[in-house]
């Protein structure tokens, strides 16, 4: 019978794998949301909902959720939770890419301009993730 406990060496390898994937996913999210598709700023001058919503951040989160569900439903369906590729891709890379800490920083900045808009953007983030997950689940065949 196999030992059900993870050895310290395997735990360290898993943590390093997740950290590497998370680092790369966070770098990509940061690049996409600040340099490639920068927000228009959160100043009160020229107030417009379309200008203060972090569209790139919402898109990155929806795309990340979509691919996480798709990968978990197809490629990593039968892999162990400790599989290094699964840890790197799902927990690390996509976890870093879809970091909600970035979303909450943006929501706080929006809150300073408009409380209602901040609440709507937060609900939009939740809804976009749920829709992306649902679409991926239908493609994998988990839902109809």
Residue 57 confidence (pLDDT): 78
Asked whether residue 73 is assigned to any structural domain, the reply reads yes
The reply to whether 3 falls in a domain is: no
Per-residue pLDDT of the chain (144 residues; tens, 9 = 90+): 455 677 888 889 999 999 999 999 999 988 887 776 555 444 445 555 556 667 777 788 888 888 888 888 888 888 887 889 999 999 999 989 887 666 667 777 777 778 888 788 888 888 888 888 888 888 877 766
Other Cβ atoms less than 10 A from the Cβ of 58: the count is: 19
- Is the distance from CB of 76 to CB of 83 less than 8 angstroms? yes
CA–CA distance, 29 with 57 (Å, rounded to integer):
8
According to the model, what pLDDT value does residue 18 have? 93
Cα separation, 51 vs 3, in Å, equals 55
What is the structure's pLDDT at 101? Answer: 66
Full domain range(s) for residue 32: 8-140
Query: According to the model, what pLDDT value does residue 140 have?
Result: 77
Taking the CA atoms of residue 46, residue 47, residue 52 and residue 53 in that order, the dihedral angle to the nearest 10 degrees is -130
Q: Do the beta carbons of residue 120 and residue 52 sit within 8 Å?
A: no
Is 34 among the domain residues? yes
User: What pLDDT sits at residue 42?
Assistant: 45
Residue 84 near residue 17, CB atoms below 8 Å: yes
d(CA 56, CA 69): 20
Structural domain total, the chain? 1
């Amino acid at each position: 019978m196999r030992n059900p406990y993870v050895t310290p060496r395997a735990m360290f390898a898993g943590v390093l794998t997740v950290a590497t994937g998370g680092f790369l996913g966070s770098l990509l999210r940061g690049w996409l949301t600040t340099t490639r598709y920068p927000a228009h700023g959160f100043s009160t001058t020229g107030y417009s909902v379309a200008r203060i919503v972090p569209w790139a951040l919402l898109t990155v989160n929806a795309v990340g959720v979509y691919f996480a569900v798709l990968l978990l439903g197809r490629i990593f369906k039968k892999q162990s939770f400790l599989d290094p590729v699964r840890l790197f891709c799902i927990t690390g890379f996509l976890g870093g890419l879809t970091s909600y800490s970035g979303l909450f920083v943006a929501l706080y900045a929006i809150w300073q301009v408009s409380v209602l808009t901040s609440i709507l953007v937060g609900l939009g983030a939740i809804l976009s993730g749920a829709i992306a997950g649902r679409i991926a689940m239908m493609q994998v065949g988990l839902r109809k």
